[in-house]
């Protein structure tokens, strides 16, 4: 290669380098995957401090026979909330109530709702206003109750649980063996399907055998449609056994006889003394017992205390004991239900 060719080649090389310098260098493509991964990691790290959500809704039959269970809800809601919050501090719990009756058969009946709230201290006063009444025929309006569940309750995006207490079944030929409103079956299925699609877990508390068939049919349908449905027994044993009752009654009768004997003696004494003496003794007795009002002493004012009075007292003790039993059972079962619903 002569010097002329070398010179031309050198000039071409220099010209090419000059063009390369004038042109911008290609930009390195952005790695979008790395950027997305970075964002995801940031979101996950932020969520570690976010509270977990748990919405607990009680659906309670509020017809005449359910007053003890409504009272248990009033008495125990705050205790349940405190116990759960102490044990599960990273959860934000909300509590709500639907009290249903039977406007299907009794037009004067209506349902009542207390929407989900974390202000638990306000619930007892609201529940206190709920009275157990109505009901009409044996089955109750489960359709209306679950319609409220789907349309009126302010569910959050988290764990959703219903605790359903009932001592009577639902209307509808599939849920109650004998019912004059068979068309209610399909309506209830529609509402249950909506609950299942929303991801609500249902726990049915069986109080009497009258409600069992309805709970069983609801469970079967709910599970077939992918829902989570459990049935729990809620039958309260009497604290007083027959032997306890008999023994208590004997003691009361014995006291009754003693009081009657004392009164008989008092009558005999009154017959032997004058009216002036009666008045004097009355005043003396009133001075000793200043907290009591003076009462004239006469044979007419002394009434025998019948055995029925003591039977009423005994019955009151039984009722009080049964209510405590229901309260304790309600609190224990609700807490266990919530624990079983947690992941």
Q: What per-residue confidence (pLDDT) applies to 306?
A: 54
Comparing 302 with 185, the larger pLDDT belongs to 185
* pTM score: 0.66
Cα angle, residue 136 at apex, residues 133 and 141 outer, rounded to 5°: 85
Q: Where do the DSSP E strands lie in the chain? A: 52-61, 91-100, 112-117, 159-166, 200-206, 228-233
Question: pLDDT tens digits, residue range 170-187?
Answer: 999 899 877 889 999 999
Q: How far apart are the first and last CA of the chain?
A: 84
Per-residue pLDDT at 80: 97
Q: Which of 84-93, 258-267, 268-277, 301-310 has the largest mean confidence?
A: 84-93
Q: Where are the beta strands (DSSP E) in 133-287?
A: 159-166, 200-206, 228-233
Per-residue pLDDT band at 298 (split at 50, 70, 90):
very low
Cα 335 versus chain centre, distance: 10
Fold of 52-238: Rossmann fold (3.40.50)
159's tokens: 């764990």
**Average pLDDT for residues 118-143, to the nearest whole number?**
93
Above 60 in pLDDT, residue 302?
no
The mean of the pLDDT values for the chain is: 80
Q: Residue 274 pLDDT > 70, yes or no?
A: no
Instruction: List pLDDT tens digits, range 6-62.
Output: 666 777 777 666 655 555 555 555 555 555 555 545 444 444 435 799 999 999 999
């Amino acid at each position: 290669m002569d010097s002329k060719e070398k010179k031309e080649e050198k000039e071409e090389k220099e010209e090419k380098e000059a063009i390369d310098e004038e042109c911008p260098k290609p930009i390195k493509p952005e790695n979008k995957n790395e950027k997305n991964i970075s964002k995801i990691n940031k979101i996950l790290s932020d969520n570690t401090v976010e509270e977990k959500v748990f919405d607990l809704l009680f659906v309670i039959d509020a017809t005449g026979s359910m007053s003890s269970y409504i009272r248990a809800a009033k008495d125990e809601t705050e205790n349940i909330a405190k116990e759960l919050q102490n044990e599960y501090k990273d959860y934000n719990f909300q509590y709500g109530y639907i009290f249903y009756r039977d406007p299907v058969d009794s037009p004067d009946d209506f349902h009542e709702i207390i929407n989900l709230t974390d202000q638990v201290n306000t619930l007892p006063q609201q529940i206190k206003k709920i009275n157990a009444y109505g009901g009409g025929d044996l089955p109750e309006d489960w359709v209306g109750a679950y319609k409220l569940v789907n349309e009126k309750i302010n569910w959050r995006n988290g764990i959703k649980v219903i605790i359903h207490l009932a001592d009577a079944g639902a209307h509808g030929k599939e849920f109650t063996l004998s019912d004059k409103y068979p068309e209610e079956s399909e309506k209830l299925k529609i509402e249950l399907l909506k609950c299942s699609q929303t991801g609500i877990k249902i726990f049915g508390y069986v109080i009497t055998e009258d409600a069992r068939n309805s709970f069983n049919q609801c469970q079967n349908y709910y599970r077939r449609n992918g829902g989570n449905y459990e049935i729990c027994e809620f039958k309260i044993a009497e604290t007083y056994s027959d032997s306890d009752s008999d023994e208590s009654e004997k003691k009361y009768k014995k006291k009754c006889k003693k009081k009657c004997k004392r009164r008989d003696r008092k009558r005999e004494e009154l017959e032997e003394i004058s009216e002036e003496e009666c008045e004097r003794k009355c005043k003396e007795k009133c001075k000793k017992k200043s907290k009591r009002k003076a009462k004239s002493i006469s044979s007419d004012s002394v009434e025998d205390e019948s055995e029925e009075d003591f039977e009423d007292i005994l019955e009151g003790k039984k009722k009080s004991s049964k209510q405590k039993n229901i309260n304790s059972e309600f609190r224990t079962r609700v807490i266990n239900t919530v624990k079983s619903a947690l992941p």
